Amino acid sequence: MSEHAAVVAGIPVDTRHWIAGERVASTSTFPDVSPIDGQVIAEVARGGAAEAAAAIEAARVAFPGWAATDRAERARILHAIADGVDKRLDELALVETTDNGALLRSHRNGVMPRVAHNFRFFADWLLGLGHEDFETRGHRNHVSWDPAGVCVLITPWNAPLMLATWKVAPALAAGNTVVLKPAEWSPLTASLLADIAAEAGLPSGVLNVVQGYGAEAGAALVADPAVSRISFTGSVPTARRIAAAAAANLTPLSLELGGKSPLLVFEDADLDLAVDLAVEQYDNAGQVCLAGTRLLVHDGVAAEFTERFLARASGLVQGDPRAPGTDVGPNIHRDHLARVDGFVRRAADQGAATLLGGGPNTDLGGLYYRPTLLTGMPPGSEILTEEVFGPVLTLQTFGTEEEAVALANGTRYGLAAVVATGSPERAERVSAALVAGTVWVNCFFVRDLRAPFGGARQSGVGREGGDWSFDFYCDLKNTVTAPWEK
């Protein structure tokens, strides 16, 4: 076994970068800590400006060949990558659970199958991508999607491989070359993806993986003038820094950022369903950008809803995410746990009442934060307006539909919303009035790659999915041809 391989859950993972089809070490490393027990599971190559430049150059050199590869061959290789993911699905699930602390059963049953689906979907979509020719005064208009060039993709730690491949798959399908920088708190499955892609026959330099900190590797990647596209999922402050760097080169950006999504429960809602939806917001220890963390409940059903919710949420099992019976695992990192707890403590200082949880789970120690529900917050308070990204929900009540919509839209975010109601007419009215990229009515987290995904306001710029992904990762061209003389 290589000295650069870590053994994680019994699985060897190379901790070096993947650049131009080769493993590349750095002069220094950074520790990767498992949130399950706080133990260092790998020493990972710490990239910086040199590694960023090498990866971008490798992608630049590989671009003409990959861009010229016909669609059918690109699609075939993407399907082969998906097959490789399926073959190593259990290994990927075990490594990712150890690395980021999300539930193992979720990784096995939902997340990793979705990784393979990402590649298959965009491979198949590529083969059908097109626009009918149309005429203008006898002239033929032909629309084409041309590969843009080198794409820098910077991905988050809460669903590392799934969210990475949601960017990697369409970028590669479109004929671009990629430099992927995974989050430093959960980098390991990106390294395994590089192995899988190479085994599937992806040419050298088409996919490169650079590990490291955002201020070092990430900053160098987004500032490089050779980059044609930047896609980032993460926080608003980081997005501002990336946008400022990209502005110097006018590099197009796609940004999927934070959320402070509402979950509205009307008086005509099925309360059992509404409670199920609300409790589901604790998924992944609340580390979900889409989570409906602000529970907005009609006055007439608030008492009953709260009683049922507390009964259900109190029964959630918190513990080791590898155990089959666990419902809520740890938060990702000690710094993040402190951030979550800081929000809750400040809310309590501002008058919030704690109905559930309210602090770390001292029985488990480490990075486990109890599922928490707060109420009685002053309007406009921090806990109601800023993204916590932990297992912390707030409860507010409303009297009218108009008041509910005003509360729902009362933040600088607009990523998602959940509406629980028994009225199709109300569902249509409220959904139309909400500022959100996705609205779920009587459901949550139903996702289809054919649909546009993204946020309004400070929840993001642009959309991903279906044609929207290809519109971003390509240069759209319209060729207008005059009538040919016979």
Residues recognised as catalytic:
256, 289
Distance of CA 135 to the CA centre of its chain: 41
What is the C-alpha to C-alpha distance for residues 322 and 101, in angstroms, rounded to an integer?
8
Residues 6+ apart with CB under 8 A from 221: 52, 55, 56, 152, 154, 179, 181, 210, 227
Name the token pair of 35.
């949130």
Torsion sign, CA atoms 448, 452, 456, 458: positive
Give the CA distances from residue 91 to residues 95, 245, 256, 308, in Å, rounded to whole numbers and listed in that order.
Answer: 6, 37, 28, 38
Going by C-beta distance under 8 Å and a sequence separation of 6 or more, which residues neighbour residue 73?
none
* HEC per residue, 330-383: CCCCHHHHHHHHHHHHHHHHCCCEEEECCCECCCCCCCCECCEEEECCCCCCHH
Q: What is the DSSP letter of 318?
A: B
What DSSP string runs through 159-217? SHHHHHHHHHHHHHHTT-EEEEE--TTS-HHHHHHHHHHHHTTPPTTSEEE--S-IIII
| Half-sphere exposure for 160 (CA within 13 Å, toward CB) | 27
Please tell me the distance from the alpha carbon of residue 323 to that of residue 82, in angstroms, as a whole number.
27
